[in-house]
Structure 1
Amino acid sequence: MSNMATVGIAEMGVVKGDDKLITYALGSCIGVCIHDKNSKIAGMVHIMLPTVPTDGSGKSVCRYADSGIPALVKKMESIGAVRRSMTAKIAGGAKMFNIPGDSVVGNIGERNLEAVKKTLAEMRIPIIGQDVGSDYARTMTFNADDGMVTIKAFSKGTSTW
């Protein structure tokens, strides 16, 4: 019987075998799922912001794309995952607020998406699936056994890929 682990905002989780990960409320945030199909190890991080602040005020590593993704990969590798076998699937990055003249808040989803893609490219982890952008929130479930992601979005239905 599989277990379901919840990954909260600015948190990460790693599971093996037939276990699953789930995160809720991916609006402008991005859920990054990394899978090693050979070891059946899956990891998920719920990213809120693109980069760690330069003033040192960033307390939660998993809050930021540029620190959360490397931390997730390191944790996965510590239990047997191999980087060259890893692939990624991402969801979120929506434009949840239409704020005229406020480019910082209004486009945070787009900035998060750019940072996630840049960090994964630097780590040489290919993105093999995505459900990003638009203007709605998503719930993301990730299966360690086969690497499948299920997205549920209010009024948009469910998709699995």
Structure 2
Amino acid sequence: MVDSYQIVKVGIADLNVIAAPDLIRTSGLGSCVGAVIYDQAKHVAGLAHIMLPSSASIKAGNMNIAKYADTAIEELISQIIKIGGRPKSLKAKIAGGAQMFQFQSGSDIMRIGPRNVEAVEAELRRFNITLVASDVGGSNGRTIEFDPVTTILKIRTVNKGIMEI
């Protein structure tokens, strides 16, 4: 018998949560980071498609919290706990953060991919969430899909095929 399941799609600057047997997927990860947080025993997970490292310069009233590492990770954790995840059991896997364009200036502003990775890792540390595996950097876009039962993050990278972490 085949279990019926959904693939929940997460858009750019978006986040969502799932429980088994559903899978969760996002595509278009260039400089963006796909952060998956999960509770392996409870078979629940969430995914945030993070565009930028910090919401510090944004006015609070009209902010998309899923867009920024400093607000998305906290919201994702909150939503995972609401569907049964346990704070002390959460783990993470991340992918993305590519340097999509080459700039001569070396300006930090243009290091969006690496800055996103650094910001996501800092937020995971802030909430004491172990980063189990990552596939970050490079210069190619990625699509990722996570299964909360196997905890496998399948990563399809442009021109590089599929890998699992």
Question: Could you state the TM-score of these two structures normalised by the residue count of structure 1?
Answer: 0.95
Q: Provide the residue aligned with 2:159 in structure 1.
A: 155
Matched letter for residue 91 of structure 1: A
Runs of 4+ in structure 1 over 4 Å off: none
The reply on whether 1:25 has 2:28 as its aligned counterpart is: yes
The 5 A counterparts of 1:1-161 are 1-56=4-59, 59-101=63-105, 103-161=107-165
83-92 vs 95-104, which deviates more? 95-104
Question: Whole-Å Cα distance in 2 between the matches of residues 68 and 128 of structure 1?
Answer: 19
Deviations 1:32-59, CA, capped at 9 Å, x for gaps: 0011011100100000000103341661
Q: What secondary structure does 2:59 align onto?
A: coil
Question: Whole-Å Cα distance in 2 between the matches of residues 12 and 144 of structure 1?
Answer: 16
Give yes or no for contact 1:95–1:107 (8 Å, CA) kept in 2: yes
Which runs of no fewer than 5 residues in structure 1 stay unpaired?
none
Question: Whole-Å Cα distance in 2 between the matches of residues 55 and 62 of structure 1?
Answer: 13
Question: Whole-Å Cα distance in 2 between the matches of residues 160 and 110 of structure 1?
Answer: 21
Question: Could you state the TM-score of these two structures normalised by the residue count of structure 2?
Answer: 0.93
Number of residue pairs aligned between Structure 1 and Structure 2: 161
Question: Whole-Å Cα distance in 1 between the matches of residues 153 and 22 of structure 2?
Answer: 13
Question: Whole-Å Cα distance in 2 between the matches of residues 39 and 14 of structure 1?
Answer: 13
Deviations 1:81-133, CA, capped at 9 Å, x for gaps: 00111110000010001122262453100110110000000100010010000
Question: Whole-Å Cα distance in 1 between the matches of residues 68 and 29 of structure 2?
Answer: 14
Give yes or no for contact 1:96–1:106 (8 Å, CA) kept in 2: no
108-117 vs 97-106, which deviates more? 97-106
Question: Whole-Å Cα distance in 2 between the matches of residues 158 and 102 of structure 1?
Answer: 31
Matched letter for residue 57 of structure 2: T
